[in-house]
Structure 1
Amino acid sequence: MVSAKTGKGCGGLCAEGVGFDFTMAFQPIVDADTGTPWAHEALVRGPAGQGAGWVLGQVTNDTRYAFDQSCRVKAIELASRLGLRDAKLSINFLPNAVYEAETCIRATLAAAARTGFPPDRIIFEVTENERVVDRAHLQSIFTEYKRQGFLTAIDDFGSGYSGLNLLAEFQPDILKLDMELTRNIDADRTRRSIVAAILTVCRDLGITPVAEGVETAAEARALRDLGITLMQGYLFAKPALEALVPRTDTAYEPA
Structure 2
Amino acid sequence: MAFQPIYDAVEQRVWGYEALVRGMGGEGAFEVLSKVSPDQMYRFDQDCRTKAIELAARLFPAEEELKLSINFLPKAVYEPAACLRATLNAARRFSFPMSSIMFEFTENEEVRDTGHLTNIITEYRRHGFTTALDDFGAGYAGLGLLADFQPDLIKIDMKLIRGIDTSPARRAVVDGILAIAGDLDITVLAEGIETEQEFEVLKESGIRLFQGYWFAKPAFEELPQVRAA
Is residue 26–residue 243 contact of structure 1 (8 Å, CA) maintained in 2? yes
Structure 1: 4+ residue segments shifted above 6 A: none
How big is each residue's C-alpha offset from its partner over 1:119-145, in whole Å with a ceiling of 9 and x where there is no partner? 111000000001113110000000000
Q: Indicate yes or no: 2:143 matched with 1:164.
A: yes
Counterparts of 1:198 and 1:83 in 2: how far apart (Å)?
32
Counterparts of 1:152 and 1:53 in 2: how far apart (Å)?
22
* Count of residue pairs the alignment pairs up: 227
- Consecutive unaligned residues of structure 2, counting only runs of 5 or more, are none
How big is each residue's C-alpha offset from its partner over 1:138-188, in whole Å with a ceiling of 9 and x where there is no partner? 000000000010000000000110000011112000100000111111110
Counterparts of 1:58 and 1:50 in 2: how far apart (Å)?
11
Q: 1:95 aligns with which of 65, 68, 74?
A: 74
Number of the residue aligned with 1:64: 41
- Consecutive unaligned residues of structure 1, counting only runs of 5 or more, are 1-23
Classify the secondary structure of the residue corresponding to 1:142.
Answer: helix
Q: Indicate yes or no: 2:214 matched with 1:240.
A: no
Counterparts of 2:132 and 2:4 in 1: how far apart (Å)?
16
Counterparts of 2:40 and 2:61 in 1: how far apart (Å)?
29
Identity %: 57
Is residue 59–residue 223 contact of structure 2 (8 Å, CA) maintained in 1? yes
Number of the residue aligned with 1:9: none
Alignment RMSD: 1.2
Counterparts of 2:3 and 2:36 in 1: how far apart (Å)?
21
Bigger drift between 65-74 and 49-58 goes to 49-58
Classify the secondary structure of the residue corresponding to 1:62.
Answer: helix
TM-score by length of 2: 0.96
Is residue 151–residue 186 contact of structure 2 (8 Å, CA) maintained in 1? yes
For 1:63, the aligned partner's letter is Q
Number of the residue aligned with 2:9: 32
Is residue 35–residue 249 contact of structure 1 (8 Å, CA) maintained in 2? no
Counterparts of 2:129 and 2:165 in 1: how far apart (Å)?
34
